[in-house]
């Protein structure tokens, strides 16, 4: 999860090579960009899951955050590295990396006005 600093330059996720290829849609939390695999190797698996079609997703929130998600940690790393040359230093500040056993990304994307770390902290408080 990154904090976005737009004080000097407006943030434009399409400057990222991978994100510019992603399918964009508006959601209550901001703009969701979903990037699909360019191959179908996952279809050959013994058990096929539809979510394996997805390479990863970017969520630019109304609260000034960029949240990346993928089922594969290596895809998230590639997505992060792809952002580096696209933005001046300081525009994106890494705030944290998380791995969850449950799907929190979709819940977050379809809730408006939440800050990602606040949502995670409130989930910890509920347990």
pTM strictly above 0.85: no
**Reduced to 3 states, what is the DSSP secondary structure of residue 73?**
helix
pLDDT band at 103 (very low <50, low <70, confident <90, very high): confident
pLDDT tens, residue by residue, 11-68: 899 999 999 999 999 999 999 999 988 766 655 666 655 556 789 999 999 999 999 9
Q: What is the largest CA-CA distance in the chain?
A: 50
Quick one: which of 89, 104, 77, 91 has its CA closest to 18?
Answer: 77
Kindly give the pairing relationship between strand 54-61 and strand 23-27.
unpaired
pLDDT band at 72 (very low <50, low <70, confident <90, very high): confident
d(CA 88, CA 92): 8
Q: Which H or E run contains 121? A: helix 116-126
Chain centroid to Cα 4, Å, comes to 13
d(CA 2, CA 66): 5
d(CA 67, CA 37): 19
Quick one: which of 73, 59, 55, 81 has its CA closest to 1?
Answer: 59
């Amino acid at each position: 999860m990154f904090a976005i600093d737009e004080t000097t330059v407006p943030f434009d996720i399409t400057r990222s090579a991978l994100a510019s290829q992603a399918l964009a849609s508006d959601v209550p939390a901001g703009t969701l960009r979903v990037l699909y695999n360019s191959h179908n190797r996952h279809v050959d698996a013994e058990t096929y899951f539809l979510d394996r079609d997805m390479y990863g997703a970017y969520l630019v929130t109304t609260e000034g955050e960029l949240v990346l998600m993928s089922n594969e940690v290596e895809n998230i790393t590639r997505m992060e590295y792809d952002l580096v040359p696209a933005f001046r230093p300081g525009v994106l500040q890494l705030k944290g990396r998380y791995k969850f056993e449950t799907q929190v990304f979709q819940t977050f994307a379809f809730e408006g006005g939440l800050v990602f770390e606040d949502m995670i902290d409130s989930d910890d408080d509920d347990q």
